[in-house]
Structure 1
Amino acid sequence: MGRTPQPAALKLLKGRSDGRDSGGRPVNPGPAFKRVPPEPPEWLTDEARAEWDRVVPGLTRLDLLKPEDRAALAAYCETWAVFVEATSTVRRDGLTIEAAQGTLPHPAVAIARNAGRELRTWAGHFGLTPSTEQALAKGADDGSEDDNPFA
């Protein structure tokens, strides 16, 4: 299956020079979408809307958002809201519950774990994880390396 391809904007942000990726290869800029942030859906939960309001300004400054990203960004934000709610439930109720079968893991533990996995996937698409944020660091490469794409 392999890695999910990065959008051209992310490749260019960490590239060695104008129009080239970090390996010095030319980057196809792709279609010329209008780079403006999408409007948030009205149905976002309060926590999801707070996350939307937190991440959209930074992504907008980097010209990474377009109106067509609305669904993916909403899914990321709602996944965050599920993660927060499940984590809060575990903190309040504990990691286990007592049932007729004995002590069992609290169902919110699995919900938080699954939401965390999904959150990392969605966040990676927007460069919002520690491992993908380097793609957002414009100018992180000082250009002192030679043109060897394997360096």
Structure 2
Amino acid sequence: MAKAAAPAALKLITGRSPGRDSGGRKVEPGPAFKRVPPKPPTWLSREAAAEWKRVLPELSRLDLVKEQDRAALVAYCEAWATFVSATRVVQEEGLVIEARQGKLAHPCVAIARNAAREMRSWAAHFGLTPSTEQALARGEGGDGDEANPFAGSG
């Protein structure tokens, strides 16, 4: 699976110096969208709405979301809700079901797996994956060049 390009704000947070990404390349700021967090649609499922409330404050604090990101954030949150729902069914009913052909994998196993893939894909767009979290942690504070023997002094 191809890695999604990180938004400029995320590249700058993880960058090694002001205006530069972690590789020292200049980061173009991109379009100057107004950074106003999107409002959740009223029809979000309960679990998706809870996930929205959990992730939006931090995404907003980091200026990583704008109103136009609503559909992508909805897709991420609903993929989470589908994953949770399918996982709960598997926990209650087990990994296998009895069928005419014998024992088969429970259909919710595949549903959970597919939802997890979709969720991970959308999460990467918002910097919500564990690897992005580590990159954000490394980007806080100094410019990070002190530990890099290949960093120039200019």
Separation in structure 1 between the aligned mates of residue 68 and residue 117 of structure 2, nearest angstrom: 24
- Cα distance, 1:2–1:82 mapped onto 2, change above 3 Å: closer
SS in 2 for 1:97: strand
- Is 2:5–2:125's contact at 8 Å kept on the other side of the alignment? no
Separation in structure 1 between the aligned mates of residue 144 and residue 31 of structure 2, nearest angstrom: 28
Map of 2:8 onto structure 1: 8
Q: CA deviation at 1:142?
A: 3.1
Separation in structure 2 between the aligned mates of residue 41 and residue 26 of structure 1, nearest angstrom: 36
- Per-residue CA shift, 1:91-128, capped at 9, x if unaligned? 00000111111111110010001111111111111111
Q: CA deviation at 1:147?
A: 5.6
Q: TM-score, normalised by structure 2?
A: 0.90
Identity %: 66
SS in 1 for 2:79: helix
Mean alpha-carbon deviation: is it higher for 131-140 or for 103-112?
A: 131-140
SS in 1 for 2:42: coil
Higher helix share: 2
Q: CA deviation at 1:146?
A: 5.0
- Cα distance, 1:35–1:146 mapped onto 2, change above 3 Å: farther
Map of 1:98 onto structure 2: 98
Q: TM-score, normalised by structure 1?
A: 0.92
**Structure 2: where are the runs of 5+ without partners?**
none
> What are the equivalent positions in structure 2 for 1:1-151 lying under 5 Å apart?
2-137=2-137, 138-139=139-140, 141-144=143-146, 145=148, 148=151
SS in 1 for 2:145: coil
SS in 1 for 2:103: strand
**Structure 1: where are the runs of 5+ without partners?**
none
Q: CA deviation at 1:134?
A: 3.0
